[in-house]
Structure 1
Amino acid sequence: MSVDSAFTVEYSKSDRSNCIACRSTIKKNTIRFGIIVQSPNFDGKILRWHHKKCFYKKVKLHDVQMIKGFESLRWKDQERIRQQIEGNSTEKKNETVREDAFAVQYTKSNPNKCHACDSAIETDTLCLSKKDGTTISSEPNEQSDVWYHINCFNEIKDDLGFSGTAESFSGFANLKEEDQMELRQKLPSPTVSSRKRKSETDEIDDTMIVKQPKLEDEIQIKKEQSELLWTYKDALRKEIPRDVLKQLLEFNLQKLVSGEYNLIETVADCMAFGALEHCPECGGFIVFNYTTYKCTGNITEWTKCMYSTQSPNRKPFEIPDDVKQQYNILPKYNPKFPLKGYSIVLAGRLSKTAATLQQEIERLGAKVLANVDATVDVVISTQDEVQRKSKKIQDAQLFEIHVVPVQFLDDIQNDQPWIVMEKLKISTWGILPHIRKQQTKDNAQKISTSRSRKSVPEKVSMILKDGAAIDPDSGLEDFCHVMRDSETGEIFAAVLGAGRTGTIYGGKKNEQFDDQSEAIKAFETLFLDKTGNKWSDRGTFKKFPNKFYPLEIDYGNHDIQKVFDNVNANKRSNLPKLVQDLICFIFDIESMEEALLSFEIDLTKMPLGRLSRNQLNKGYQVLTELQTLITNDATNKTAIIDASNRFYTLIPHNFNRGKPIILDKIDLIQSKTEIIDNLLEIEKAYSMLKETNDQKNEHSIDDYYKKLKCSLQPVDHNSEEFHRIEQYMTNTYAPHQRKYTLKLKELFKTTREGEREKFQKWQSTENRQLLWHGSRKTNFAGILSQGLRIAPPEAPASGYNFGKGVYFTDMVSKGAHYCFATPTASGGLMLLCEVALGKMYECHQRTSFSTETLPANTQSVKACGKTIPSPKGQYITDDGILIPMGRSINAKIQKSSLQYNEFIVYDTDQINMRYLLRVDFQFIN
């Protein structure tokens, strides 16, 4: 049974629940069925409880495996539910399903899963659906569509009650003609289907006769186990107090669960089958989860352990002698052990005797040591002893150990030890125990831990004016803010916001303060509680399991207006009108935001003005780690999930109501690498916008133009130069490209500061060509100001087909693809660059190269494509540049995996920008 089932069953724990159908009370200890749906108001699932009869009226189940908690019921109740479901199955075989319950359509952009095979149905493919009462939406009494691949539907159509033809499906008339034919072929006539099904059923019946004895044995075993469990449950509920149940679990080193119901379930399971051994992968506690035993521990500080099994290792469940004899008169027992694992030293004359304190400390799970050393977690003393600076106090100061009063032992009953330490500290020094131990750990840790830290630095410089602390392990985020008055600077509120990473769920909690110091103190306490780190130690931040992690965010000026909105009547631009329009086009903030949305970036967590280059580079590092994991150990799913968690923490995505995609495929790594490439360019453009203009009388457009450090001269449309470039574009546009045509709107000569000087050493190279390079228009502020650049070392090599270099093409169709124009944003920019190719190494398949790995005596790579410009149409300029502007022809290359030629150089000095083209993508239909 899947734990993602939409249904659950249990005995009502009280008289407080009401049936969602009839609105009357569900009595305690009676069976109640729940329908699990996503809450529309907060981050989590909610249960809509029903009486048994009310549930049966609403939902027709056909398999007990669809119900969570079914096997936890008494055997007689399990049997009754089975009989009810068997009756549903009989009705199902005989019922006539309305034809409008079935539909056919092309899948939308949101991914669907096939209900039969549980695999994804790709976007824009044909799929079938049936309205089904066993799939519940968030609205009561509403049936949802259940989706199937065509082949999967065909295999189980009789079970689904379908007896029609292809034309029976709603939406059939809207299909393409070829898809209508496919559906008719794959769904034969009912007569043929019935005969086929009958023969299959006969075979199944014969098989069942053979398997019947084995099935009966399994049922008997399950019955005996259920009855044994309920014998223990009834006895525990009647005779054993809750504190003793907790004591039994801790005595046997089991996970301490909360709630009387869960305590009884857990102890009964241990008594019936043995105590559970700890997880073999991480050493964490294992607990029963409906039909599977799952680990509750953490593989790394970022990711929960994924271990689960139906046959866990067990050991004898031991019961202390005193419990066996007098369990009902045991003294009150605190099972939490809030100081478990702590070492404490007592110093000076205290308000209680040493023996009393030692007994109390041991009852809380800690041990008392005689002397102070590096292993001690906290020292209990008095203010007088601290001022006297006794030997123990001096040692505590040497090792940065907190000194606290005896009150510490009382306050930890209600709060975390490290929070109480900070509140009650009577010493002027002190580093929290878990931070001290982390700092002194040996660097040689297990592989999974070292992997998780490759891309996450020990120190995180964090700007937290409006910061975010994230728990990627649980998927929850917390935002801790101290709000500051913009005029007086007074801090007056601490704000806590919570929500699921990349989704729409969540809310905020405001806590108001009259005093600035109180607000700061509340914020610092909250920060310590949520992250395990002191606010003052954020420069050496450490990530801890199940704790939040701070994002480094660049907070700039968020009130930047669009360039073309900043025109002032008293300021006149000295630039030609065509150049003014181009600058506005390049620095269009709306386009930048649209680009971020197309990357599925969560603009509430990483808005345009908060892109951090440092954080984006860390994203590169995580992708490189993922590439290594996928290449070397694709089966290590836990490590891949761990790294995926870290990537989504560093680069927040918006998944709406969906779940983050695990980055377990190379093509996903390539896609995310391209996203970071583009984000870095956008970050550069926005940083240029944020820079202040000291020339008060200068038009803002002129200011941004100067920041590009690149001369842009419009070329006359009537010139030979313009017509030649226009012809180059027309001739190298592939004839099979039917999505759009290209129109050269404007042409600009480009001269980047310092570029031609660097290119000088390549000027005499014989093989220099004028080649295309396309990119998103939002990238051109960075490209013009910094030049075309090679991906940094942090970026994964798998993101580039022929290694980390700068890519060009002699076919405009190839370059235009990377402009990512749309019918609603049809303008694009392209470059024509003089590229010193020199001697080229020709290849036909993807191979990674770099400056160091290029074959001897070669300066570039030519990846040969199937469609090329005709050599007969080549043109050579007066300064020796070859323009491959012949009409496209078939290269007659059979072995190539590429459609078009690509030229790659691994030294940016081999590039000299010559033209910037403003292009209009004229979409067809």
Structure 2
Amino acid sequence: MADGEERAKPKPFKAEYAKSGRASCRKCKENIGKDAFRIAKVVESKQFDGFMTLWFHSRCVFKAPGFITNVGDVEGVDALRWEDQQALRAYAKGEGGAQGAAGGKGAKGKAAGGSKSEEGKSEGKTKAKGRKAGAGDEDLEGAAAGVHGFQVAYAASNGSACRHCTEKIPKGQLRVGRMEPSSRGVEVVAWRHAACVGEEGIWPPGASVQGVEGWDALRKEDQATLQAMLGGQAKGKGKGKEAEPPKKRQRLAEQDGGGEEGKEEGSRRNKKGKEEGGMGEKGKGGAEEGREKGKAGEAGMSKELEKALEQQARRLWEVKDKLRTHMSVADMRAMLTANQQDATGSEDALRDRCADAMLFGPLPPCPLCSSPLEYWDGQYRCRGFLSAWSACSYSTREVQRREEPWTIPDDISNPFADEYRAQQRRRLKAGDKGKSKGRGKGKGKAEGSKAGEDGEGLWPQRLLPPEEKRSEVKKGNSAGEGGKEGGNGRAAREAREAAIPDGGVAQDKPLEGLHVALLGRLSRSQAAWRKEIEEGGGSVAALSSAAVDCVVATEAEAARSQDKLVPAITLGAPLLSEAYLLDSLSQCRRLPMRAPYLLPLAPHLQQQADAAPPAAAAAAASGAGRESKGKKGKERSGEGEERVRSVRVKGRAAVHEASGLGESGHVLDCDGTVWSTTLNLSDLSTGANSYYILQIIEDDKSPACHVFRKWGRVGSDSIGGSKVEGAGREQAVALFRRLFKEKTGNDWDAWQAKTGFQKQPGKFYPLEIDYGATDDDGGQGGAVMGTRSKLDGRLVALLMMIFDLKSIREAMVEFEINVREMPLGKLTKRHIERGFQVLTDVQAALQLPEDSTGRRESAIVDASNRFFTLIPTVNPAAIRTLQALSTKIRMLEALRDMEVTSTLLSASRGAGGGADEDEDPVDGHYRQLQCGLKPLERSDADYSLVSEYLQRTHAPTHKEWDLQLLDVFRVDRSGERQAFRADLKNHMLLWHGSRVTNFVGILSQGLRIAPPEAPVTGYMFGKGVYFADLVSKSAQYCFTSADSSVGLLLLSRVALGALHELTQAEYIEKLPRGKHATKGLGMMKPKEDEFVKWASDVVVPCGKPVPSGVKNSQLRYNEFIVYDTSQIQLEFLLKVKFIHKR
């Protein structure tokens, strides 16, 4: 690993000697004795955010060739005894386990093969070469050892399809099957054409086809064909039917390497029949590639280096064995402490560090964080922390050890310690004073010197093995693009389809969160469909239920029972064929609810569907996550609906739905303390991105309490767990305090007081969440919001649009913010301001010069860790570019406006902000805006002016969409006209665009300037409010899409005064004397002789774009920037439809 590189994932395998006798082999189920040679498969845990090891006897691994094909994929190889190292290398090269090597015990100072351990006896009988794979191995499940999990047969029907090329395999044709996990987490046979197996590279290199299950049942000519294709012989055309691959090849989008580690049951050892990480998986990323890389690595080791490494390994183990015999754990810790080395960790880790330093000298501190370095797995690494927020990821293969003797404390006295002291005194007395002449830095090369040889200075150099490259894991591609949209309910369809991931990777529960209504007689019984739907994660709902997401029917039944569909259609649920469920289940992904799955509606129902109010559509699809195009993260649609529906805010906090106590309990609120917290931890160097939720939930009708905790990985439903513990109030409070201290390293009182709380290395940090708005805010008495409003219908639609919580969640998903574990909460304003401060630190890190120590990279990662810990994000990545930094700035600006929306919604809950109970929530929201909004009639002169301005100023390069004006509202924000600087001259009516989710903040608080905490990056002419004279330039910042095509634009009266004109970027902190605003001069501008005057003194630059005559400008179009919000007066709000052309 290069210096400073992120260490997100461990190697896929690990080799060591068992530290205890508690583990059992995942293959043979027998105990793995202490100090026995064992090999682990490293998989992502389903119970916590991290990785877990699945252990096997080395003998069990060596009986299944193809499990490991590249020794570079194995952690800890050079920490093994030499015989076991060589056995593992030979196995990875396909030569089988070296005889007698596997199963030796790490505690003994003799060759592993010579030990008389239980494993050694078994392995001593195994030959290294010439053994037919799988012959007589009763401890291997299924087929032959060399081709475990494979089988061959003739297709019994025309029903199977090749997993590689997706073409059908005709009846009677030769096919090859491999056991692979299905979407249900059980293993099934995945069939392929024989030629496709070779083409895909999944056959274990060097494995014999003659031992595969079904071999003896094949015709001789087909055996010859299969042998030629897969058996390692020269390829040629066989006589069988599978001699040539099919003409058409189309790779199925699937995740390679899903293997058995994808099963959740694997980590629960008590569940029968569920084996995770089994031996059947052959070489991630392609066995053949792994084999070639492994051979290349071995080829790079010269005989001289190999001999020197063997001698070095034997000397290291000689010292380790003596340490085991003569030194206690306390002795080793005392030695390491006396020599400024790391004295933490297990007994084996302490012994490794002591042996390394006693042979090669004490290591220097880390150049980045000053923590002790240690040798491990071919490199010197740091296990310290850069700061309280970041683990140090420094590693190197070159290090200059300290030229000073190794100190053994005087109170340690034993034969080994005495002998070592005497040897060291002899070296010093002989004149080897610690100066190393002409010695290298330990680059892993044997340059004529033997490891451990005297006469090289105070310390000999440690030789490092050649770097083994890790295998590249092939990743699956997304598939399953939806077809063209058909007609079946306009508003509801748009809202729902925005919530459904278009394609995406396979899901274990593709229908999770989906509520399906079944209509009448189907092709199979409703009971059978119910079972299928529930197994896929969904549920069956009644047609009249408000929870219905879609209705499934046959075309004939739909034609007969149209009247039964009225409730569901009114809610916006689409009518789908059974093929939708079949395809979603078979493809293991939720497909878009579009053609060809949509069934036709009767004309009167189609009219109802198209006329369905946006509120109904939003309610029907509420809570569903949405995946924006190109986003790597994944939000399962439908999940949020159930989540939002089941959670209720009682008092000052929301009971988490996973507790199951939301209906009967409330979060304990006593003595001014709300006993609820959400903790977060993100560290890019370790790959951690974890959350931990802690609550005390008190029963509504009794003093009984429960302590609820939930943990996992941010954005993942499959990783983590939860627990509810009943207790009295005092016991619950004590447990809450203990868990908070354990997870954060701080007392709960310190966090509550906001004084004395210090972030601790490797510990969680609390988020400041103000539980406010919920999806039932505004809904009173079960009525649909907006139905009782006394406002103009156009204004009601606008208010419902800007106060829509579903849009807020979708925007958060687009920014990859974690909405799963704070779905009803919001980060406080102070918390968001801290995010801005951290981004300023990111900017400072980006400005650091590159250096060899990796300080710049470490500073970037450290600041990124702080940001993602404060702002939980689904897929965090180090903020390494100014463009990425600008994106995060925009994200926080959007979050700031969302916080305003949520605050206003919170204020309207309960008493409705002081309104009577009969007031529609929309009217209450409008009153809280304190901003007058009056819809203009199309006959109004101002409407005509705005429409002409919009149509004439579309820039020629903005061709992705056209703009259609839907409504215009006159804006009168409270107090803004009185504060406006009318004394300044040069007033213009200019454009400003923003996300819909930002407009509650804009209308209630006005257009604002970025806070002082925000970094200066991303503002071409400094922190100010930016305007344009071409509508399409501002419209770009509405960030609409084909699925969400309606945006909002502002026209503001801007008092520009004297302009400071620029053609190049210049960060303005203070304008030159006599200047009031900045104008960025573009190479195109509106045609000036088409300008008009409005309200007597306001220039409306509504001319068509023409060349400006400005040369060498960084801007294509004009920009206007003011740095004082009193120069801005909002005049018109435009509701605009973006007609996307692609």
Change beyond 3 A, Cα 1:317–1:801: same
Which residue among 668, 673, 679 is the counterpart of 2:895? 679
Contact kept? 1:770, 1:834, Cα under 8 Å? yes
For residues 609-657 of structure 1, what are the alpha-carbon distances to aligned partners after superposition, in whole Å with 9 as ceiling and x for unaligned? Answer: 32301110111111112212212456522232222222112211123xx
Corresponding position: 1:871 with 2:1088: yes
What residue identity is the alignment partner of 1:638?
S
Contact kept? 1:832, 1:915, Cα under 8 Å? yes
Give 2:1017's aligned residue: 798
Mapped partners of 2:203, 2:831: distance in 1:
47
Measure how far apart 1:779 and its partner are: 1.1
Corresponding position: 1:313 with 2:404: no
Measure how far apart 1:917 and its partner are: 0.6
Which residue among 1031, 1034, 1040 is the counterpart of 1:821? 1040
Give 2:845's aligned residue: 629
Measure how far apart 1:670 and its partner are: 0.8
Mapped partners of 1:669, 1:265: distance in 2:
42
Measure how far apart 1:133 and its partner are: 7.9
Corresponding position: 1:506 with 2:727: no
Give 1:75's aligned residue: 82
Change beyond 3 A, Cα 1:646–1:87: closer
Contact kept? 2:696, 2:707, Cα under 8 Å? yes
Instruction: Show the 5 A alignment for 1:458-857.
Output: 464-472=674-682, 475=688, 477=690, 479=692, 481-485=694-698, 487=700, 490=703, 492-500=705-713, 504=717, 505-513=719-727, 515-538=728-751, 539=753, 540-543=755-758, 544-556=760-772, 558=774, 560-561=776-777, 567=783, 572-633=788-849, 635-655=855-875, 660-691=876-907, 692-696=912-916, 697-762=918-983, 765=985, 767-850=986-1069, 852=1070, 854-857=1071-1074
Instruction: Show the 5 A alignment for 1:209-224.
Output: 215-224=302-311
Mapped partners of 1:666, 1:569: distance in 2:
43
Which residue among 1071, 1077, 1097 is the counterpart of 1:860? 1077
SS for the counterpart of 1:917 is strand
Mapped partners of 2:1075, 2:781: distance in 1:
50
Measure how far apart 1:286 and its partner are: 2.9
Q: How many residues align?
A: 696
Change beyond 3 A, Cα 1:579–1:34: same
The sequence identity of aligned pairs, in percent, is: 33
Give 1:96's aligned residue: none
Change beyond 3 A, Cα 1:80–1:592: closer
Give 1:290's aligned residue: 377
Measure how far apart 1:777 and its partner are: 1.1
SS for the counterpart of 1:781 is helix
Contact kept? 1:463, 1:554, Cα under 8 Å? no
Change beyond 3 A, Cα 1:11–1:524: closer
Measure how far apart 1:916 and its partner are: 0.8
Contact kept? 2:744, 2:764, Cα under 8 Å? yes
Measure how far apart 1:228 and its partner are: 0.5
Give 1:356's aligned residue: none
Give 2:1101's aligned residue: 884
Measure how far apart 1:703 and its partner are: 2.0
Give 1:922's aligned residue: 1139
Measure how far apart 1:537 and its partner are: 3.5
Query: CA RMSD, aligned part only?
Result: 4.2
SS for the counterpart of 2:386 is coil
Mapped partners of 1:567, 1:497: distance in 2:
34
Mapped partners of 2:27, 2:1037: distance in 1:
55
Measure how far apart 1:798 and its partner are: 0.7
Instruction: Show the 5 A alignment for 1:109-120.
Output: none
What residue identity is the alignment partner of 2:1134?
L
Mapped partners of 2:46, 2:682: distance in 1:
22
Corresponding position: 1:235 with 2:322: yes
Measure how far apart 1:893 and its partner are: 4.6
Change beyond 3 A, Cα 1:16–1:534: closer
Give 2:361's aligned residue: 274
Measure how far apart 1:805 and its partner are: 0.8
For residues 133-188 of structure 1, what are the alpha-carbon distances to aligned partners after superposition, in whole Å with 9 as ceiling and x for unaligned? Answer: 899xxxxx9xxxxxxxxxxxxxxxxxxx999xxx99955999xxxxxxxxxxxxxx
Change beyond 3 A, Cα 1:217–1:569: closer
What residue identity is the alignment partner of 1:641?
V
What residue identity is the alignment partner of 2:1116?
Q
SS for the counterpart of 2:389 is coil
Mapped partners of 2:885, 2:1060: distance in 1:
27
Mapped partners of 1:289, 1:64: distance in 2:
15
What residue identity is the alignment partner of 1:785?
S
Give 2:568's aligned residue: none
Change beyond 3 A, Cα 1:259–1:516: same
Give 1:396's aligned residue: none
What residue identity is the alignment partner of 2:724?
N
Measure how far apart 1:687 and its partner are: 1.0
SS for the counterpart of 1:485 is strand
Mapped partners of 2:357, 2:389: distance in 1:
30
For residues 820-858 of structure 1, what are the alpha-carbon distances to aligned partners after superposition, in whole Å with 9 as ceiling and x for unaligned? Answer: 1122211111111122223322222222114x2x23332
For residues 448-490 of structure 1, what are the alpha-carbon distances to aligned partners after superposition, in whole Å with 9 as ceiling and x for unaligned? Answer: xxxxxxxxxxxxx997532123455674656463424264684
What residue identity is the alignment partner of 1:700?
P
Give 1:902's aligned residue: 1119
Mapped partners of 1:6, 1:470: distance in 2:
27
What residue identity is the alignment partner of 2:1001?
G
Change beyond 3 A, Cα 1:723–1:622: same
Contact kept? 2:165, 2:249, Cα under 8 Å? yes
Is there any run of 5+ residues in structure 2 with no aligned partner, and where?
2-6, 97-128, 131-161, 167-198, 206-211, 213-233, 237-245, 254-291, 418-670
Instruction: Show the 5 A alignment for 1:52-71.
Output: 52=59, 54=61, 57-59=64-66, 63-71=70-78
Measure how far apart 1:244 and its partner are: 4.2
Instruction: Show the 5 A alignment for 1:324-335.
Output: 324-325=413-414
Measure how far apart 1:319 and its partner are: 3.4
Contact kept? 1:61, 1:134, Cα under 8 Å? no
Change beyond 3 A, Cα 1:168–1:226: farther
Mapped partners of 2:1072, 2:235: distance in 1:
63
SS for the counterpart of 1:592 is helix
Measure how far apart 1:708 and its partner are: 1.8
Change beyond 3 A, Cα 1:769–1:654: same
Contact kept? 1:102, 1:131, Cα under 8 Å? no
Contact kept? 1:768, 1:881, Cα under 8 Å? yes
For residues 658-700 of structure 1, what are the alpha-carbon distances to aligned partners after superposition, in whole Å with 9 as ceiling and x for unaligned? Answer: xx21123221211111011111111111211111321204332
Contact kept? 1:462, 1:553, Cα under 8 Å? no
Contact kept? 2:334, 2:409, Cα under 8 Å? no
Mapped partners of 1:565, 1:830: distance in 2:
34
SS for the counterpart of 1:467 is strand
